[in-house]
């Protein structure tokens, strides 16, 4: 089942899925969906958000026909339809079986799931004040709807009957895993509660839905509202590409003749790297890191305090000591203590490296007579100077070989070599898109030509689009009711250049581009039978995407695709050698800023949150950790959307580090193979065990099948250039 990620708790995953068609010969009573929708005066066929997907490739979303006026009625009808399906399953007089209960649930919620494909686009890619008003109104209603499913006693009784039956042991391994995942989805989300506790659990979920939505919209408000406009005389040090992009961004905002540094990482990061105006660097830095923390009506601190209190109360109803203990129970880490042990072991080495990096930067500043002490807004600027001095490596020179289109071709090449995928552009107009910059490719098998799915790309930043980079699945693979092909997207926030100008990006951004494409490949490679098994274990699902980053610096990619955007000449060997020599440069900064966020996330969710002041807590806990004053957390708490705009990463941001242990260890498997990173035998094991099974196999078992053993943390330390000690 493909879970719908619009709600605040993982409970939603147990009953909703979103693929195109119903089974041809159902082994269970079917609900009258038309009547259910009619009960709220909606015709599903006439509502664009509920209408069946039509057109080529097994049907595609009608992104070009979205109408906000139809959204709220569509949600209300979708909920009514799904509840009718659930009631039909729960009230089935026949004894509960795998087919009439578990598979019936797998087949439920498809219309609502399709609606939330559109909803995700409206929320993340093209948000408006009108949409946000609907979102805020519907969030608690959706949480209430979800509770009606997870707390349906008759339904849970049937699920438990299948889970506890002797028949379970006779099922295929993937079917057993499906039953266990569905059962746990109920049991871990309040299905076992009774009376007042059950009512309170549902009420908490409704309030959290409101708070998470408000938090996300507050951050988006600050990203849209706080823009730094520069005059021509304030562009000192900025590369031509950034100046052109800033001019275009200003003109788009009605400020022609000015230069806009938008309040997103993709704009902030290069400005801090190159601007020679220290006062402006400080202003841009503070604007970015104060998102959600400006003491106004969009300030998120009070929301954080209430979110933490409610999460703690909710898991207390289930008998857990703290939120993190509940969250990690079904993750690879299993306990907060294991996650903390990993992070603190790496933390010591990363902080020590930061001290070395700051000393190098301070020496450069002193030599130049800058008469400053390195501050957070200086870190990127002087790190770039150190990079040039130590490695003779100029980031702006590297960017000349990192053109967005060529990098996309490089990703397609890697997908062809490892997965046997071929990407062919879909003619404009053949598949509907929601914005003119969005392009679509058909993915097929290189050998057989068989259709696998579609890949959508939305690469550029714009007002109404949340910052960052992410992947979405519009339709996941299943063979449960025919072979459903995949619809998947990658979304970035690269700064669009002037018309006709190439988009050149940094090495770090190129890594992120490959990373998110890894998520897309994980969806495209799926061979699971049931929609739910397309889900994942959070501290494992980042592994596949992090691993794909390792193909960017391979010789095959560098020599064929990293070519100068003007001359067409390949990247010279001496520049390649400098990049590889500097692979671990600034690793102290990168690791420490990430770990600070991951550690604070875990600390927020393991303490008693009564009366907590989030700003003070963040500051005091970082001081206890020995956080270097020269850099901030990657995501300060008031804009830490990973953990406070929903619950996908809450008490789970450590997962990137957990996954990176697997990544470093798996990368060594390729490095040791005769064919290196393109070794066919290792690549086949990669696809067979680490990508195709999705969540149909326990992650630890899957990794052992790939590697022949568990991953070793020493690989991570070697990979980052940190010393390997007994404390790691």
- What's the pLDDT score for residue 28? 87
For the segment 637-643, the average pLDDT, to the nearest whole number, is 97
Residue 549 included in any domain? no
Q: How confident is the model at residue 238 (pLDDT cuts 50, 70, 90)?
A: very high
Are both 237 and 175 inside the same structural domain? no
For the segment 578-583, the average pLDDT, to the nearest whole number, is 92
Are both 237 and 174 inside the same structural domain? no
CATH number at residue 601: 1.10.1370.10
For the segment 390-401, the average pLDDT, to the nearest whole number, is 93
Residue 502 included in any domain? no
Are both 257 and 165 inside the same structural domain? no
Pick the last residue of a domain from 614, 634, 653.
653
Are both 187 and 96 inside the same structural domain? yes
Residue 181 included in any domain? yes
Are both 46 and 164 inside the same structural domain? yes
Rounded distance between C-alpha atoms, residue 413 and residue 682, angstroms: 17
pLDDT, tens digit (0-9, with 9 covering 90-100), for 362-380: 999 999 999 999 999 999 9
What is the domain extent for residue 74? 10-192
Q: How confident is the model at residue 16 (pLDDT cuts 50, 70, 90)?
A: very low
- What's the pLDDT score for residue 19? 33
pLDDT, tens digit (0-9, with 9 covering 90-100), for 68-108: 999 999 999 999 999 999 999 999 999 999 999 999 999 99
- What's the pLDDT score for residue 575? 95
- What's the pLDDT score for residue 664? 96
- Is 634 a residue whose pLDDT tops 90? yes
Residue 309 included in any domain? yes
Q: What is the 3-state secondary structure (H, E, C) of 269-323?
A: HHHHHHCCCHHHHHHHHHHHHCCCCCCCCCCCHHHHHHHHHHHHHHHHHCCCCCH
Are both 243 and 318 inside the same structural domain? no
Paired sense of beta strands 486-494 and 451-460, if any: parallel
- Is 10 a residue whose pLDDT tops 70? no
What global pTM score does this model have? 0.89
For the segment 578-585, the average pLDDT, to the nearest whole number, is 92
- What's the pLDDT score for residue 582? 92
pLDDT, tens digit (0-9, with 9 covering 90-100), for 545-555: 999 999 999 99
Residue 611 included in any domain? yes
Q: How confident is the model at residue 726 (pLDDT cuts 50, 70, 90)?
A: low
For the segment 488-493, the average pLDDT, to the nearest whole number, is 97
| Contacts for 690 with CB less than 8 Å, ≥ 6 apart | 543, 544, 547, 666, 702, 703, 706
* pLDDT > 90 in the chain, percent: 91
Rounded distance between C-alpha atoms, residue 49 and residue 68, angstroms: 10
- What's the pLDDT score for residue 374? 98
- Is 14 a residue whose pLDDT tops 50? no
| Contacts for 75 with CB less than 8 Å, ≥ 6 apart | 49, 112, 115, 119, 138, 141, 142
Q: Would you say 114 and 178 are in contact if contact means Cβ atoms under 8 Å apart?
A: no
- What's the pLDDT score for residue 222? 96
For the segment 652-670, the average pLDDT, to the nearest whole number, is 96
Query: Got the DSSP string for 221-280?
Result: HHHHH--EEE-GGG-TT--HHHHHHHHHHHHHTT-TTSEEE-SSHHHHHHHHHH---HHH
- Is 40 a residue whose pLDDT tops 90? yes
For the segment 206-218, the average pLDDT, to the nearest whole number, is 97
Q: How confident is the model at residue 670 (pLDDT cuts 50, 70, 90)?
A: very high
CATH number at residue 123: 1.10.1370.40
Are both 56 and 178 inside the same structural domain? yes
- Is 17 a residue whose pLDDT tops 80? no
Which tokens is 201 given? Answer: 């659990």
Rounded distance between C-alpha atoms, residue 400 and residue 505, angstroms: 8
- What's the pLDDT score for residue 281? 98
Residue 679 included in any domain? no
Q: Can you name the residues that pair with 494 across neighbouring β-strands? A: 460
Work out the mean pLDDT of the chain and round it to a whole number: 94
Which of residues 1 and 630 earns the better pLDDT score? 630
Are both 170 and 306 inside the same structural domain? no
Which tokens is 587 given? Answer: 């690793």
Are both 45 and 172 inside the same structural domain? yes
Q: How confident is the model at residue 22 (pLDDT cuts 50, 70, 90)?
A: very low
For tokens 């509202």, what's the residue?
225
- Is 2 a residue whose pLDDT tops 90? no
- What's the pLDDT score for residue 406? 98
For the segment 611-619, the average pLDDT, to the nearest whole number, is 97
Q: How confident is the model at residue 499 (pLDDT cuts 50, 70, 90)?
A: confident
pLDDT, tens digit (0-9, with 9 covering 90-100), for 23-35: 445 678 899 999 9
- Is 127 a residue whose pLDDT tops 70? yes
- What's the pLDDT score for residue 1? 29
Rounded distance between C-alpha atoms, residue 173 and residue 693, angstroms: 12
Distances (CA, A) of 86 to 10, 609, 612: 18, 36, 40
Are both 17 and 135 inside the same structural domain? yes
Which tokens is 310 given? Answer: 């409610």
- What's the pLDDT score for residue 590? 95
- What's the pLDDT score for residue 323? 98
The interaxial angle of helices 195-225 and 129-150, nearest 10 deg, is: 160
For the segment 309-313, the average pLDDT, to the nearest whole number, is 98
The interaxial angle of helices 655-672 and 336-367, nearest 10 deg, is: 80
For the segment 225-244, the average pLDDT, to the nearest whole number, is 95
Are both 320 and 275 inside the same structural domain? no
Q: How confident is the model at residue 727 (pLDDT cuts 50, 70, 90)?
A: low
If DSSP codes are grouped into helix, strand and coil, which group holds residue 552? coil
For tokens 């057989």, what's the residue?
448
- Can 76 be counted among the known catalytic residues? no
Are both 171 and 232 inside the same structural domain? no
How many other C-beta atoms can be found within 10 angstroms of the C-beta atom of residue 520?
25
For tokens 């999460």, what's the residue?
311
Residue 188 included in any domain? yes
Which tokens is 589 given? Answer: 């900064």
Count of structural domains, the chain: 3
pLDDT, tens digit (0-9, with 9 covering 90-100), for 153-181: 999 999 999 999 999 999 999 999 999 99
Paired sense of beta strands 421-425 and 439-445, if any: antiparallel
- From the candidates 223, 357, 417, 516, which is the catalytic residue? 516
Pick the last residue of a domain from 653, 668, 703.
653
Q: How confident is the model at residue 498 (pLDDT cuts 50, 70, 90)?
A: confident
Residue 554 included in any domain? no
Pick the last residue of a domain from 612, 628, 653.
653
Q: Can you name the residues that pair with 580 across neighbouring β-strands? A: none
């Amino acid at each position: 089942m493909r879970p719908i990620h619009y709600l605040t708790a993982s409970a939603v995953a147990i009953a909703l899925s979103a693929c195109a068609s119903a089974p041809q010969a159902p082994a269970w009573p079917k609900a009258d969906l038309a009547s259910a929708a009619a009960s709220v005066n909606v015709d599903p066929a006439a509502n664009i958000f509920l209408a069946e997907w039509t057109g080529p490739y097994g049907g595609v979303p009608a992104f070009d026909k979205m109408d906000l006026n139809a959204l709220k009625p569509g949600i209300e009808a979708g909920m009514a339809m799904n509840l009718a399906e659930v009631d039909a399953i729960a009230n089935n007089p026949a004894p509960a079986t795998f087919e009439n209960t578990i598979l019936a649930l797998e087949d439920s919620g498809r219309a609502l799931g399709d609606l939330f494909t559109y909803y995700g686009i409206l929320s993340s890619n093209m948000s408006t004040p009108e949409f946000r008003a609907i979102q805020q109104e519907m969030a608690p209603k959706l949480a209430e709807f979800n509770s009606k499913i997870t707390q349906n006693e008759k339904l849970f009784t049937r699920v438990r009957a299948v889970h506890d039956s002797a028949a379970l042991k006779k099922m295929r391994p993937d079917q057993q895993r499906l039953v266990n995942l569905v059962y746990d989805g109920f049991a871990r989300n309040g299905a076992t509660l009774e009376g007042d506790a059950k009512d309170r659990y549902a009420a908490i979920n409704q309030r959290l839905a409101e708070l998470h939505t408000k938090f996300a919209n507050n951050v988006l408000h600050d990203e849209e509202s706080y823009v730094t406009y520069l005059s021509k005389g304030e562009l000192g040090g900025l590369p031509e590409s950034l100046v052109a992009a800033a001019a275009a961004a200003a003109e788009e905002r009605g400020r022609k003749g000015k230069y806009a540094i938008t309040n997103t990482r993709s704009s902030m990061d290069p400005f801090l790297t190159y601007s020679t105006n220290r006062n402006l660097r400080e202003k841009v830095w503070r604007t970015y890191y104060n998102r959600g923390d400006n003491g106004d009506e969009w300030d998120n601190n009070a929301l954080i305090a209430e979110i933490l209190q409610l999460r703690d109360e909710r898991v207390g109803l289930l008998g857990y000591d703290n939120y993190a203990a509940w969250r990690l129970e079904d993750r690879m880490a299993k306990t907060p203590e294991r996650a903390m042990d990993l992070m603190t072991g790496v933390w010591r080495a990363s902080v020590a490296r930061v001290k070395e990096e700051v000393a190098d930067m301070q020496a450069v500043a002193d030599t130049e007579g800058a008469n400053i002490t390195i501050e957070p807004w200086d870190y990127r600027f002087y790190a770039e100077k150190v990079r040039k001095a130590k490695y003779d490596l100029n980031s702006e020179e590297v960017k000349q070989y990192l053109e967005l289109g060529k990098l996309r071709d490089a990703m397609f090449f890697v997908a062809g070599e490892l997965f046997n995928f071929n990407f062919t552009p879909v003619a404009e107009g053949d598949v509907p898109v929601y914005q003119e910059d969005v392009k679509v490719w058909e993915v097929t098998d290189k050998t057989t030509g068989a259709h696998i799915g579609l890949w959508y790309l939305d690469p550029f930043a714009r007002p109404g689009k949340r910052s960052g980079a992410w992947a979405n699945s519009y339709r996941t693979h299943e063979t449960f009711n025919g072979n459903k092909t995949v619809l998947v997207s990658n979304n970035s926030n690269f700064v669009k250049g002037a018309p006709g100008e190439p988009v050149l990006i940094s090495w770090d951004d190129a890594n992120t581009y490959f990373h998110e494409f890894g998520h897309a490949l994980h969806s495209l490679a799926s061979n699971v039978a049931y929609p739910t098994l397309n889900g994942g274990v959070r501290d494992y699902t980042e592994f596949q995407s992090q691993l794909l980053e390792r193909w960017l610096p391979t010789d095959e990619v560098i020599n064929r695709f990293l070519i100068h955007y003007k001359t067409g000449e390949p990247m010279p060997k001496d520049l390649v050698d400098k990049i590889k020599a500097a692979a671990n440069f600034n690793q102290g900064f990168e690791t420490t800023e990430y770990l600070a966020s991951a550690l604070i996330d875990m600390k927020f969710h393991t303490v008693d949150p009564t009366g907590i002041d989030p700003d003070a807590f963040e500051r005091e806990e970082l001081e206890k950790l020995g956080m270097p004053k020269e850099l901030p957390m990657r995501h300060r708490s008031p804009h830490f959307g990973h953990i406070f705009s929903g619950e996908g990463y809450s008490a789970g941001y450590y997962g990137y580090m957990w996954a990176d242990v697997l990544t470093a260890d798996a990368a060594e498997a390729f490095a040791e193979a005769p064919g290196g990173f393109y070794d066919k035998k290792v690549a086949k094991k990669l696809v067979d065990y680490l990508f195709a099974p999705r969540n149909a196999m326990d992650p630890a078992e899957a990794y052992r099948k790939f590697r022949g053993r568990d991953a070793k943390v020493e690989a991570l330390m070697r990979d980052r250039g940190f010393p390997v000690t007994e404390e790691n």
